[in-house]
Structure 1
């Protein structure tokens, strides 16, 4: 008996189908209506049963958001073992005609009525699971224990990083935003035209919110405070560009003067010489910050004292920067989310 299956791979370059089947379709990020299809699947999964978010639905939601390739094929049951081997390598979830969502071994991740067994494993790249375990071991040495069910962050084989040129432009825009926040705080706002003249690359890269803030004659005190915190988002981006040698533990505020000095040294970066740190190093930092983000929120919500010094606002700003850097939800800077 044959069955038609949709397989959703999160990998940028998944292994081609290497088992016997009738290939019906293959599409990807550049395909017409691909994103609409993924959004439709998310809606179908979320609307099952009570429509409320839970651990399993969040896992499925994130997998679908990261999907870069969709394979549709008709397969005979006697080929299921080969499908499982391929599916693990391609990191897929499978959608069956009966409305079930399954892992490569065909174990049901969610039934059509929304029910699920939390003990059925979601597929993740091995490298991502290993990174998660390494981070958890490090946190344990500090007396910190994040939620075990927190998923791993995006893996090397899944991520599409911002380009070095994009990161440099975003870093310069953040520098200008921080400088203007300081000037507002000192009741001596700078003329935006000066930014445009002295740092045209950073000025052109300002987000809509940043542009409005810099040009605001009298911004709200909360907006000045929020934009002042952007220096903490600037630090990880300068670190990613190798403009800063280290990214300290999130227990100490950054030195704004050092960030501005380094930004001014690179005010007209030579695109051909821009490079980012090794991908594994960037994702290690992301995974650590993601779990620290959950921990600081959890301790605050439950009114518990942290066993080690950490500053939640620093971690929040870094998470914003890392999520943007790794194209989390493909969001522009102003729309980046930082869920835990």
Structure 2
């Protein structure tokens, strides 16, 4: 008996189907209506049963959101062993004719009525799981234990990073925003045209919110404070560009003078020569910050004291920048989310 299967891979370059089946379709990020299809699948997951968010629905939501390739094929049940091997290599979830969503081992991740067994594991690339374990081991040496069920962050085989020229433009825009926030705090706002003249690359890259802020003759005090914090988001981007040698532990504020000095020195870079740090380093920083972010929130919400100094505001801004850098939810700068 043959079954119609839809497989959803999060990998940028998944292994081709190498088992006996009738291949019906394969599409990816550049395919017509692909995003609409994924959104529909997310809707199916979220509306099952009581429709309330839970850990499994969130895992499925994130997997579908990261999907870059969908395979549709008909396969005989006697080929399931070969299908499983391929499915593990391609890091897919499988949508079956009975409405179940399954992992590569054919174990049910979610039933049509929304029920699930928390012990059935979601598929993740092995390197992502290894990175998670390494981070947890490091945090344990500091007396910290994040929630074990927190998922790994995006893997090298899954991530599509912002380009170096996108990162440098975003870094310069953040620098201009921070400088203007300082000038507002000193009641001596700078003329935005001066930014345009001195750093045209950064000025052109300002987000809508940033543009409105630096042109606002009397911004709200909270807006000034929020934009002042953006220096902490600038630091990891400068580090990603190799403009900073290290990304210090999040137990102290950044050196604003140093950030601005380095930004000014690189305000008119040769874009073709820009490079980012190795992807593995960027994802190591993301994974560590993600778990620190959860810890800081958890300890605050439960009115507990952390065993070491961690500055939640610093972590929050770094998470914002790192999520943008790694295209979390494919969001533009103003719309980046930092869930834990």
Which category of TM-score, normalised to the shorter sequence, fits these structures? over 0.9
Q: Does 1:296 align with 2:307?
A: no
Shift of 1:153: 0.1
Match of 2:90 in 1: 90
Between the aligned partners of 2:277 and 2:38, the Cα distance in structure 1 is 31
Q: Does 1:241 align with 2:241?
A: yes
* Equivalent runs, 1:40-119 vs 2, <5 Å: 40-119=40-119
Between the aligned partners of 1:280 and 1:259, the Cα distance in structure 2 is 24
Q: What does the per-residue CA deviation read over 1:258-297, in whole Å, with 9 as the maximum and x for residues that have no partner?
A: 0000000100111121110011000000000000000000
Match of 1:121 in 2: 121
Query: Where does structure 2 lack aligned partners over 5 or more consecutive residues?
Result: none
Between the aligned partners of 1:307 and 1:59, the Cα distance in structure 2 is 30
Between the aligned partners of 2:198 and 2:147, the Cα distance in structure 1 is 46
Match of 1:143 in 2: 143
SS in 1 for 2:84: helix
Between the aligned partners of 1:180 and 1:287, the Cα distance in structure 2 is 31
4+ residue segments displaced more than 3 Å: none
SS in 2 for 1:93: strand
Between the aligned partners of 2:149 and 2:116, the Cα distance in structure 1 is 15
Q: What does the per-residue CA deviation read over 1:42-91, in whole Å, with 9 as the maximum and x for residues that have no partner?
A: 01110001111101000000000000000000000000000000000000
* Equivalent runs, 1:196-275 vs 2, <5 Å: 196-275=196-275
Between the aligned partners of 1:297 and 1:170, the Cα distance in structure 2 is 27
Between the aligned partners of 1:180 and 1:99, the Cα distance in structure 2 is 54
Match of 1:165 in 2: 165
Shift of 1:200: 0.3
Between the aligned partners of 2:148 and 2:155, the Cα distance in structure 1 is 18
* Equivalent runs, 1:276-287 vs 2, <5 Å: 276-287=276-287
Q: CA RMSD in A?
A: 0.3
Q: Does 1:189 align with 2:189?
A: yes
SS in 2 for 1:5: strand
Between the aligned partners of 1:82 and 1:272, the Cα distance in structure 2 is 45
Match of 1:331 in 2: 331
Match of 2:313 in 1: 313
Match of 2:4 in 1: 4
Between the aligned partners of 1:193 and 1:97, the Cα distance in structure 2 is 60
